[in-house]
Structure formats: structure tokens, C-alpha cells
Structure 1
Amino acid sequence: MRTEFAATARLAIPLAAANLLQMAVYAIDVIFVAQLGTQQLAAITLATSVYGISLWCSLGLIGAVAPMAATALGRGRHALREMRRSFRMGLWMSLFAGLAVMAVALGGEPLMNATGQDPVVARMAGEYLSVLSFAAVPVVAANVLRIFVSTMDRAVIATWITVLALLVNTTGNWILIFGNLGAPALGLRGAAIASVITSLAVLAAYVAIIQSDRRMRRHYLFGRLWRPDWQRLGEIWKIGLPIAAITLAEGGLFGAAAFLTGALGGLQLAAHTVALQLAALCFQVPFGISQAATIRVGIHNGAGSREGVHRAGIAVLALTGAMAVIFAALMLAAPRLLLSIYIDTGDPANASLLALAMTFLLIAAGFQLFDGAQAVLAGLLRGLADTRVPFVMAVIGYWLFGFAAAWLLGFHTPLAGKGVWLGLALGLLVTSILLGWRWHRRERLGLVMKPD
């Protein structure tokens, strides 16, 4: 168990750090664009909602490469060849998925107009998306290579490359948005160009590091990249599509929660947005642990080690539980301090917003364990290449229980926004119970490989 805890931490810590830094990269765009005015800020918010959910779904699709490659590594026989097949076709899939994200992004303005958004804001968002769409393919491809370095037990590379992304994006925004160092002041379009440059820099960094490392270079990932392997591409699609669907189901639930709270009033929506930002920040840690869980379980499963799979489950669930307790304690002990990151807690004008956001944050503290558990359990099952049934369970938990409860409690009781958040908590609780049941019965269900 000590060895398993060490291996899990060696993967999870840099991946969680990379996830947190990635949130900082996105925040940089908002910080810079906010200085341009409220319309520009509204435009980038709308654009990010369209681009973000489609991008996350595409990342879920290529996430199938992780269990496939880890299982091949654990099996040992023909590991180099099998991993190379998976990652090459993962790069092919990143092209298809990235082009799909581009199509969604380019259709963003008509979608916003159809949903009754301000035409001026929709036009700004459409112009932003027309440039940002070119970042989609390199972003998805870079995530395939991130999975590769993590599978090779070099996850710290992902952390440092995300630091590079933060630096490039910050510099690009400063130069291109405001016209510093003699560059033209491009405003919102400059922010989009900076994001495209950042995506290309990240992809180039992964390629350069992989090619310069002797152990990783021997996998010959980029050799004969043009040759299709339709069988492996089909396997990635079969495993990855339910992962993308789970991402859409969860993202859709929290997106729907924003619409529900927005219908209850501007104050409710503002408090929801602030509290959810903090909850999302905390979620990046169990999300990193979930990514590590997929790789660790995949390796043990490929080796036919049921005991190894069991140890990996204990390690990631214990680590997730410990982090959940820490985050919940922080939310309960210092909610005002945490919220001061986003709002001026000393301004009397924000008193109502602060009080409501603190209430939401207390509910978020209560569901930290369930939120982390459902993410990690999905990662554990993903390591066994089990994705279709977990998708069905996620839809049941998120929507049949979570959304239904949020709607009922939010609009048919005096709880209002608090009812919406209690509905979210119920959805996460039910999902974690269902996924936990499936993980517990993994051997009886025949999900674990038998040793040769």
C-alpha cells in the first residue's frame, strides 16, 4: 500500500497542479478582458460557455487513450507497439474532435442570437470564437500527449508545460489586447489570438520534450503518423464516446443550475457564480486524482493483478477523502476569506451577495466528499475500460435526481437558490453511490481482467 500511495501521489499531485494552473490560464483571459468593459466581459463569458463544453466533451473522447495505453503497459507484451497504436490514433481522434469543436464555435453567434442574447454581445462573442476556434485542434492534441507523459510516469511535465501556458497567455494578452510593445491594440480579438498562440506553444513543448527524452522517444509516436489504424480508432471511439457523454451530462447539469438560479433573480445568479467558481477550483484536485486513478488501475488490470486494482482503489479513494475533508473544513471555517478572492467582502453594497454566496458555500462544503467520490469512481471504472454503464448511472444521478430536485426545491419551496444547490448535492450523492456500487462489484460483473 505504501508503494501504491506513493505511485498515486506521484501522478495525482502534478496532474492536480496542472489542472489548477489551467484554471489560472482561463482566469487570465477574464481578468484582462474585464478591463475592456462589461460588453466585452459578457461576450467572452458567453463564448467560453459555448467553446468550453464542446472542448471538454472532446477531451473526454480522447480520454479513452489513457486506460487503453495503461492496460497495454501493465500487460507488458508488445507494450511499445500497443501504446504507439493507441496514441497515434488518439492524435487522429484529436483532429476529428478538434474540427468538431471548431464547427460548434463557428456556430456560436447564431446560437446566441437564437437564445435571445444581446445582438451586440453576440456579435463580439462570434468574432472572438471565429479566432479562438483555431486553438481547438492543438489543445486536444496536446491533451493526448499529456496522457502519454502521465502514463510514462512523467506527469510533472504536464505541470511545467501548464506554467509555460500561463506565462505565454499572460504575455500575449498584455501585448495584443492593449497594444503594448508596439503591437496593435486588438481588444477581444487579441485575447483570442493569444489563446491560439498559447495552444500552439503547449503542443510544441510536448512534442519537443517527448522527442528529447530517450525513454519516451523510443515509442516512436510520430513516425508514420499518416497511416490509419481503423480498428484502434474504433476502440477509442467506443470507449471514449460515453466519457464525452458523461462530461456533457455533468456540465449540462451545472449549466442548467445557472439558468435555474438566473430565473430566480440576478442576486441569486451572482452568488451562484461566485460560489461555483470556488467549488470548481476545489474540484480540480479530485479531478487530478481521477486521472491518476485511470492510469494506475489500467496498469494493474493489464497485468492481471486483482490485488493491484484493489490497492489502487483504496489509495485514490483515501486520498480523495482526505482532500475533501480539508476543502470542506476551509469552506466551513473561512467562507468570507475564500469569497474575498472574487468579491469585495468589506463593501456594504455586497452584503446580500456575500450572505447568499456564503450559504451556497456551506452547501458546497457538504457535498465535497460526494463530488470527489463520483469523479474518482468514474476514473477507477474508466481504468477498467468501463464507460457505458457509468454514463447511464451519471445521467440517472445528475438529471433524474439532481436536476429534478434542484427544480422542485428551487421553484416550489421557499429555498430558492439554496434549493438548487441542495439538488446539485443530491445528484452528486446519488451518482457517487451508483458508481461506488459498480466499483464494489467489479469482479462479479467481470470488469477485471483475469491473469494469463
Structure 2
Amino acid sequence: MDFALGADIPVHMHTKTMTYPGHVKAVTVLGLPLIGGHLAQMAIGVTDTVMLGWYSVDALAAGVLGSTFFFTLFLFGAGFAWAVMPMVASQEAEGDEVALRRTTRMGLWLSVAYSLLVLPLMFWSRPVLDLLGQDPGVAEDAARYLRIAGFGIVPALLVMTIKSYLAALERTNVVLVITIASAFANAIVNWALIFGNWGAPEMGVVGAAVASVVTQIVALIGIIIYAVWVFPHHQMFVRLWRADWDMLGRVFKLGLPIGLTSLSETGLFAGSTLMMGWLGTVPLAAHGIAMQLVALTFMMHLGLSNVATIRASNAFGRRDWKHMARGGHVVTVMSLVFALLTIAVFVGIPMPFINAFMQENEPARAEIMAIGVGLLAMAALFQMMDGIQVIALGLLRGIQDTAVPMVIAAFSYWAVGIPCSYLLGFVFGYEGVGVWSGLVVGLAVAALLLMLRFWAVSYRRLKSATPNRVS
């Protein structure tokens, strides 16, 4: 556990003791734009899913498979972008502008290097998909998607890094605005290229891939312009080519475990997608719809997790343990409240949401609906656990504790979640519902162990090692 990163921080910044209502207000002000930004980002994926579903079930299945492959690799590389957030937030609390510039630049370096490393996997994905037992027709369409969409990983990871830099400096509104603009751009290009509207060629799933790349490039241009305009004194892109090996090593050391943690969780969901693919095209399409709905609600928890990271990092930089504890309590309770609301919706009125992803004349409509309702019932069960585990991860990243959480995540998702999904889905014959039940078990184990890690080990050790000097 690397607490040495902040061991020599001078305590020169002071804050008044903040009440719980004060924390709720602060989390809301900082968190709403982040949550909105995540929702807008998800809207890009939902737009792809909805429009491909309108085009055909085969195109929808291929899009689900291809995008799952893409985001599995993307989220691993995003670990370096995520590492920028707690480091810059802590450096801002210290008043060290040079360090935060160095951190962000090396985050950009690592994002580009990783993108170039995984691009060949995107371009030659067909053998991998065949090896994973996917339907040959769906696998071929997914591979065609990835040969184009794969190029979007470079701008996507650069955008993620700059977003982390801006969020750590509490410039979250622009993240929301740029992401919303990107979502509109994606919808427009999708409408033109998937269906051949406005004189454009009809490209189906390949059109969705082109739209994704265009969207990421638009977002990158917009966020760079904003960062340079608002923080010209940081000189973020001046002599960007100059290596800073010491800081690159620090970002890598913090970011690699974060990336592996994300890969473990994403791998759990990617594994479930592959298993649903073994059940057939229709179950895979139903799984894609349910997963998009779950991912949308998860954005609330992810936004709160980002707030937990930023505020815990600031408290870490000031050595203000009371502030950190109260903030941790608030984000956890807010996440639980939203999870309860989501459970009520998924169990009470699932059909209108599933309907939105299909045309009225879809031949497999009734079958997809029946499977989707069952999957959303399972999704309601793991909503609470999913929220708790991501909040715990956000708090742990705020204090730059990433190595042990990586091990916990790998154990929970791969040693528990994936085997349970396979056993319940195929050995015991519960099929899709069984596969999703395994997700519930893996997330529950992760939630319990990660919360224990923060409150019973990491936070307690920090507090006992250094007295609270501020609040």
C-alpha cells in the first residue's frame, strides 16, 4: 500500500469542519455534472444499441459483441487516466502546479502508448472471437466493426485523461457539455450511416463504428481547446514530447493496478456477454439491452465514485481524516438511496425500457422481451452491490491505495463471479438468469471486501499514523 506518495505533504491548507448536510451539498454540486457527463457518454453506447436494434437483431448482436471487446481493452488502458485524477487533486491541495502538469502529461503519454499497443488486437479480432466460441456470422460483423472503431481508442483515452485532469480541478461542468455535444454528434452520424439517410451510404454496423470514431475525435478537439483556454498557465501541451521518466513511473505505478481492477470487473461482464453468446443471437441481444439499461443507472454510482476520489484526495493532501470520513459516509448513503430507487423501477416497470430498443415488427420481439424481463430482475439484485463496490474503489483511489483492491477485484470477479455464472447458467441450466446470478455473487463479494479494506484497514491506518490537524 503506497501511502508514501503523500508522506511529505505540508499541511498549509485549512478548511472549516463541514457538516453532513454541507457534504451532501458539496457532493451534489461536484457530482451532478460528472454524473451527467457519464450519462451523456453512455448515451453514445445506448444510441448505438437502439439504432442497431432498429436496423436488425443480427446487427445489434454484432454491435454488442464488438463494443464489449472494445470497452474491455479501453477500460484497462483508462487506468492511467484514472490515476491522473487522485494525483492531480492531491497536488492541487498542495498547491504544486508543476507536479500536476507533469502528472497529466505522462498520463497522456501512457494513454497513447497503450492505444498503439492494443490496436492490432482490434484490427485482427476475428480469430479471438472465433476462439471464444461466438456465432461465425456475428463474429464476422463484430470484427468489421472493430477494424474501424478500434482507431477511436487513441482519442478516447486522451479524452479520458484530460477529463480526469479537469475533474480533479473541479471543472466538471465542461466535461458534461463536451460529452453531451459528442453524444449528439454520434446520434447524427449514426442516423446517416447505419440506415443510409440524407444521401449517405447504408453501412449498418460499420456505420456505427465510423460514428464512434468521429465522436471521439470531436470530443478530443473540444476538450483540448477548453483546457488550454481555462488553464493557460499550466502550459499543458507545451513541449509535450519531453519525457519525464520519474513521473511516468509514478503514474504507471498507480494506474496499472487501477487498469487491472477495471479489467477484472469489465472481464466479469465481458465473460457474461460471451456466455450469453453461447446461448444464441436472441439471448445475446436481450443481454445487450439489459446491460445498456444497467450501465445507464450505474453512471450515477460512477459519478459519486469520482466525487469520492476527488474529495478523498483533497482530504488526503491536507491530512484531514474527519473530512474524509464524513465525505465517505455521504457518498455511500447517496449511492444506496439511488440503488433502491433503481430496484423499484427495474422490478416494477421493466417492459417500456426494453421496448425502446426494438421495432414493433421485430420477429424475435416476444422472446427478447421475456428474456430481458428476467435479466432486469437480476440486475435489480446487483444494483446495490455494484454501487457499493465502485464507491469503495473511489475512496481507495483517493488515498492512492490501488494494489490490494486490484487483488480483491480479481478474486471477486474471476475466482467467484465467472465460475458462479458458468455453473448457474450452464451446469444447473438456468441459462441467462443463471449467468446474471453469477454477476450478483461476484459483485457482492467485491463490495464487502473493498468496503472492509477502506474502513477497517486503509483509513484506520492513515488516521492512526497521522493526527487530524485540520477539522
Does the alignment reach a TM-score above 0.5? yes
Which residue of structure 2 lines up, in the alignment, with residue 292 of structure 1? 307
What do residues 58-110 of structure 1 show as CA deviations (whole Å, max 9, x unaligned)? 1123211111111111223xx21111111111111121122123222112133
Contact conserved, 1:403 with 1:423, CA < 8 A, in 2?
yes
Distance 1:334 1:116, change over 3 A: closer
Aligned to 1:161: 178
Identify the range of structure 1 (159-168 vs 442-451) with the bigger mean alpha-carbon deviation.
Answer: 442-451
Q: Quick one: which amino acid aligns to residue 158 of structure 2? A: A
Gap change, CA 1:43 and 1:277, over 3 Å in 2 = closer
**Contact 1:260–1:420 at 8 Å: present in 2 too?**
yes
Q: Quick one: which of 83, 92, 99 aligns to 2:109?
A: 92
Matched, 1:75 2:94: yes
Counterpart CA distance in 1 for 2:195 and 2:249 is 46
Alignment match, 1:340: 355
- Partners of 1:178 and 1:416 in 2: how far apart? 33
Q: Is the 8 A contact 2:52 2:59 kept in 1?
A: yes
SS at match of 1:443: helix
State the partner residue of 2:82.
63
In 2, Cα distance between the equivalents of 1:89 and 1:4?
Answer: 32
Whether the aligned pair in 2 keeps the contact of 1:51 and 1:105 (CA below 8 Å) is yes
1:379 to 382, 394, 399: 394
Structure 1, 44-53 or 175-184: larger mean CA deviation: 175-184
Q: 1:340 to 1:404 in 2, by over 3 A?
A: same
1:194 corresponds in structure 2 to 211
Which residue of structure 1 aligns with residue 418 of structure 2?
Answer: 403
- Aligned residue type for 2:78: L
- How far apart, in 2, do the equivalents of 1:425 and 1:419 lie? 10
Give unmatched runs, 5+ long, in structure 1: none
Name the residue aligned to 2:5: none
Separation (CA, whole Å) in 1 of partners of 2:395 and 2:226: 28
Name the residue aligned to 2:168.
151
Q: In the alignment, which residue of structure 1 is the partner of 2:344?
A: 329
TM (normalized to structure 1)?
Answer: 0.90
| Cα distance, 1:262 vs structure 2 | 4.4
Counterpart in the other structure of 1:251? 266
Match of 2:459 among 402, 424, 443: 443
CA deviations 1:87-143 (Å, max 9, x no partner) are: 111111121122123222112133234445565654544443333232221111111
- Aligned residue number for residue 21 of structure 1: 40
CA distance in 2, matches of 1:127, 1:300: 47
Task: Give the counterpart letter for 2:92 in structure 1.
Answer: L
> With structure 2 as the length reference, what TM-score do the two structures score?
0.86
- Give the deviation of 1:247 after TM superposition: 1.3
**Match 1:304 to one of 312, 315, 319:** 319
2:70 corresponds to 1:51: yes
| Cα distance between partner residues in 1 of 2:357 and 2:192 | 25
Q: For residue 170 of structure 1, report the CA deviation from its aligned partner.
A: 2.1
User: 5 Å matches for 1:234-273?
Assistant: 234-264=249-279, 268-273=283-288
Question: Are residues 1:8 and 2:34 paired?
Answer: no
Q: Deviations over 1:285-328 (max 9, x none)?
A: 10111112111111110111111211221121111111111111
Structure 1, 53-62 or 425-434: larger mean CA deviation: 53-62
Q: Kindly provide the amino acid, as one letter, of the partner of residue 245 in structure 1.
A: L
- Give CA-to-partner distance per residue, 1:227-262, whole Å, 9 cap, x none: 111111111111111111111111111222233344
3-state SS of paired residue (1:226) = coil
Q: 1:162 to 1:448 in 2, by over 3 A?
A: farther
Contact 1:177 / 1:191 at 8 angstroms: preserved in 2?
yes
Q: Is the 8 A contact 1:293 1:380 kept in 2?
A: yes
**SS at structure 1 position matched to 2:247:** helix
| C-alpha contact 1:55 1:101 (8 A) present in aligned 2 | no
| Counterpart residue number, 1:220 | 235
The answer for the alignment partner of 2:448 in structure 1 is 433
Does 2:226 match 1:204?
no
Q: Tell me, yes or no, if the aligned pair for 1:384 and 1:448 is still in contact at 8 Å.
A: no
Q: CA deviation at 1:201?
A: 1.2
Distance change >3 Å, CA 240–CA 414, structure 1 → 2 = same
Distance 1:29 1:337, change over 3 A: closer
> 1:193-218: per-residue Cα shift (whole Å, max 9, x none)?
332222111111111112222xx222
Taking the aligned partners of 1:140 and 1:297, their CA distance within structure 2 comes to 24
Shift of the 69–128 alpha-carbon distance from structure 1 to 2, 3 Å rule, reads same
Counterpart Cα distance in 2 of 1:119 and 1:16? 38
More deviation, 192-201/348-357: 348-357
Aligned to 1:64, the other structure's residue is in SS state helix
Paired residue type of 2:306: Q
Deviation at 1:45, TM superposition (A): 3.3
Aligned in 2, Cα 1:42/1:351: closer, same or farther, shift over 3 Å? closer
Deviation string 1:22-54 (CA, Å, 9 cap, x unpaired) is: 121123334444565555444433322222211
Q: Report deviation, 1:4.
A: 2.2
| Contact in 1 for aligned 2:84/2:161 (Cα 8 Å) | yes
Quote the Cα distance in structure 2 between the aligned partners of 1:184 and 1:346: 24
RMSD: 2.8
What amino acid does structure 2 have at the position aligned with 1:58?
G
